[in-house]
Structure 1
Amino acid sequence: MFLFLVSYSLNCFVCDSKEDEHCPETWTRKDILPVECEGPDGVQNARFCIKTIAVFGGAVATKRFCTSRHMDNQCIEVKYPQDEKMYYSCTYTCSSDGCNRTYRLYLSRIIFLFFLSMQIFFSTF
């Protein structure tokens, strides 16, 4: 009798739009593949892929990464005491290979667009 141990590692897209112009909010590239989360430089016990979108000063930043924590699906407003501007952030959590390429829940996108329009509106005054 033989016993085989099979190990599975999640594959997520990993990028930061602040450092990589090929990491937009809407992912259209087909030549970049998700990376293995448990590699030598990866996250131990990674079970989730994350996509975050932040709006500050009218600019949009996107980050995709692997994590061992479920970070929920949420959009929040953040105000830092040292800054008068309001920041908006949306986080999407998923658990299948390459799932953080895009996000299919359109209600969250509507909420995000609302936050973006509010940021633009209030930055003009």
Structure 2
Amino acid sequence: MQFKSKILFISSIFFVTIRSVDSINCYQCSGTDSENPFECNEFLDSDTDIVATDCATIHDAQYCIKHVGRFEGGISTKRFCSSLDLGNYCNYVAQPGDKLEYRTCIYTCSSDGCNSAAALEISMTLFIFLFISFMCT
């Protein structure tokens, strides 16, 4: 093949193997973080340094979760990405040795206000197959 034809072929392979996937950006923080313990509150202040970040490290992340209540040995707020819809509910819980029950709430969102975005992902299997086919011709 001529050089221009090879460039056109490789470019075509690249565009054919790209597919669009949905990604979600969520606030990710924990009130039990020893470096910034007061930044991850139940209600984020507008002047906070916390920003919504991409959830690409969580396989098939589609939801943002806010957990307010008792966890990790304290009472605080935790925000994270999830591939599971944990629903919206509150419970009263007590750990062994607790004298009181503590209200714990889970809030799940997936679109409005959860910073949805689009990203591109290359189908590596198809790309490798086409590239090897190209190199063998």
Query: What range is the shorter-chain TM-score in?
Result: 0.5 to 0.7
Aligned length: 95
Distance 1:97 1:36, change over 3 A: farther
Q: Give the secondary-structure state (helix, strand or coil) at the position aligned to 1:25.
A: coil
Matched ranges for 1:1-125 at <5 A? 3=16, 4-19=18-33, 20=36, 21-30=38-47, 31-38=49-56, 42-54=57-69, 60-96=75-111, 99=114
Question: Can you give the 5+ residue segments of structure 2 that lack an aligned partner in the other structure?
Answer: 1-11, 116-137
TM-score (norm 2): 0.59
Q: Give the number of the structure whose alpha-carbon radius of gyration is greater.
A: 2
* Cα drift, residue 87 of structure 1: 1.8
CA distance in structure 1 between the partners assigned to 2:107 and 2:87 by the alignment: 6
Structure 1 residue 43: Cα displacement: 1.1
- State the identity %: 39
What per-residue deviation string (whole Å, max 9, x for no partner) do you get for residues 74-124 of structure 1?
Answer: 010112233332121011000027539xxxxxxxxxxxxxxxxxxxxxxxx
Alpha-carbon separation, structure 1, partners of 2:99 and 2:75: 18
Letter aligned with residue 49 of structure 1: C
Q: Which amino acid aligns with 2:109?
A: C
Which ranges in structure 1 are unaligned for 5 or more consecutive residues? 101-125
Whether the 8 Å CA contact 1:12–1:34 is kept in 2: the answer is yes
Are the aligned partners of 1:50 and 1:66 in contact in 2 as well (CA < 8 Å)? yes
| Distance in structure 1 (CA, Å) of the matches to 2:58 and 2:113 | 16
Q: Which residue of 1 aligns with 2:120?
A: none
Higher relative contact order (CA 8 A, sep 6+): 2
Q: How far apart are 1:60 and its partner, in Å?
A: 4.5
Larger helix fraction of residues: 2
* 1:11–1:97 contact (8 Å) kept in structure 2: no
**CA RMSD of superposed structures (Å):** 2.6
